[in-house]
Amino acid sequence: MAGNSIGSVFKVTTWGESHGKALGVVIDGCPSNISLSEKDIQKEVDRRKPKDPRVSTTRKEEDKVEIMSGVFEGKTTGTPISIVIFNKNVRSQDYKKLKSVYRPGHADFAYDLKYGIRDYRGGGRSSGRETVARVAAGAVAKKVLNTNIYGHTVQVGDIFAKEFNKTEIGKNPLHCADKKAAKEMLSLVEKVRKEKDSIGAVIELVIENPPIGLGEPVFDKLNADLAKALTSIGAVKGIEFGSGFDSAFLKGSENNDQMRADKEENITYLSNNAGGISGGISNGNPIVLRLAIKPTPSIATKQKTITNLGKNTSIEVTGRHDTCLAPRVIPVAESMAAIVLADHLLR
């Protein structure tokens, strides 16, 4: 299986499976003499853990981070950084009945078609559990950068955030910046959970004070590399930058980000419809993008499917699963964005 690495200078390779002994990541190309400790990485990894059983899985993993190489006396050495996180709370018996049955919405069927073998215990490599290694790498990438990256939920089902108060993001389990909308979103998630179903969402990612000039104007556009990195997250099914799909409804005079210069020749933009990226290059504005998050495919509602012998059957997926993936995708999306920015910065 190829395709387990991303980046050209700051190169990240993840490994491990959902119910394997451990997951981990190797980071090649990190500069030397950057302060880095297990505590720095643990802080980010802990953000990915499920916090509220009304929204997220009840699987409780310790997710203890161990740095195996590349750090000496609290500083990076410039050699490959290897990080391991051991699985502790697996319940592989929950998946025995899935050995010969494909779960709708998962990679099961495509895996068997391509490789002729699959790890049915939680999806193996295709499980969202793999993202813990991405977050560990993202923590290192954030140490390379001097910028602030944060995400928040702007939509769950048909409920939209209408206000933005940054201080509200950490005060509710869905990480929504609109206090009133957050309550409505949580009520919807609880209703869906009782129905043994799941619900989709939209999250917004904001990169404040990004380095100017990242990205190349043809195939290595910054937005193109961000799109690849972020859509590599299994739950992400759509992406837009700035005005995104709404730009289809606008005129050029409305969508263009007009500019002004003051007496000191400091340039400001009158809008940010480009989402901080012009012609594939970061222009100094905050980079703003939104991700469509699919409903968790593992649901206890009966669904039609087939066996590995091509026979019709039905399935109810039991076990410990998220009702809404948005809050747990946010730190993963932040990490993937940080990895891409660090790679472009070091180029």
Reduce the DSSP state of residue 35 to 3 states and report it. Answer: strand
Domain ranges, residue 159: 5-346
User: In terms of C-beta density within 10 A (0-12 exposed, 13-18 middle, 19 or more buried), how is residue 212 classed?
Assistant: exposed
Single-letter residue type at 151: G
Above 80 in pLDDT, residue 89? no
Higher pLDDT, 300 or 179: 179
- In this structure, what CATH number is given to the domain that contains residue 191? 3.60.150.10
Q: What pLDDT is recorded for position 18?
A: 84
Query: What does the alpha-carbon distance between residue 206 and residue 226 come to, in Å, rounded to a whole number?
Result: 12
Question: Model's pTM, two decimal places?
Answer: 0.94
Cα dist. 86→46, 138, 164, 302 in Å? 14, 18, 38, 33
What are 162-212's pLDDT values in tens digits?
999 999 999 999 999 999 999 999 999 999 999 999 999 999 999 999 999
Average confidence (pLDDT) over 313-333 = 90
Average confidence (pLDDT) over 287-302 = 94
Q: What pLDDT is recorded for position 135?
A: 98
Torsion sign over Cα 337, 338, 339, 345: positive
Average confidence (pLDDT) over 121-136 = 89
What are 35-69's pLDDT values in tens digits?
999 999 999 999 998 776 777 765 577 899 999 99
Q: What pLDDT is recorded for position 337?
A: 98
Cα dist. 146→35, 93, 195, 287, 333 in Å? 13, 45, 44, 14, 18
What are 222-252's pLDDT values in tens digits?
999 999 999 999 999 999 999 999 999 999 9
Tell me the pLDDT band of 90, cut-offs 50, 70 and 90: low
Q: What pLDDT is recorded for position 11?
A: 98
Tell me the pLDDT band of 84, cut-offs 50, 70 and 90: very high
Instruction: Tell me the average pLDDT of the chain.
Output: 93
Query: What does the alpha-carbon distance between residue 213 and residue 225 come to, in Å, rounded to a whole number?
Result: 14
Average confidence (pLDDT) over 316-340 = 92
Average confidence (pLDDT) over 343-347 = 97
Q: What pLDDT is recorded for position 334?
A: 98
Q: What pLDDT is recorded for position 146?
A: 86
Reduce the DSSP state of residue 347 to 3 states and report it. Answer: coil
> Could you give the residue ranges of the DSSP H alpha helices within 174-266?
179-194, 222-231, 252-255
Q: What pLDDT is recorded for position 125?
A: 86
Total count of domains within the chain: 1
Tell me the pLDDT band of 97, cut-offs 50, 70 and 90: confident
Q: What pLDDT is recorded for position 9?
A: 97
**Phi (first) and psi of residue 190, to 5 degrees:** -65, -40
Of 193-207, 259-273, 307-321, least confident by mean pLDDT is: 307-321
Of 83-87, 109-113, 280-284, 330-334, least confident by mean pLDDT is: 109-113
Query: What does the alpha-carbon distance between residue 279 and residue 274 come to, in Å, rounded to a whole number?
Result: 9
Average confidence (pLDDT) over 121-140 = 91
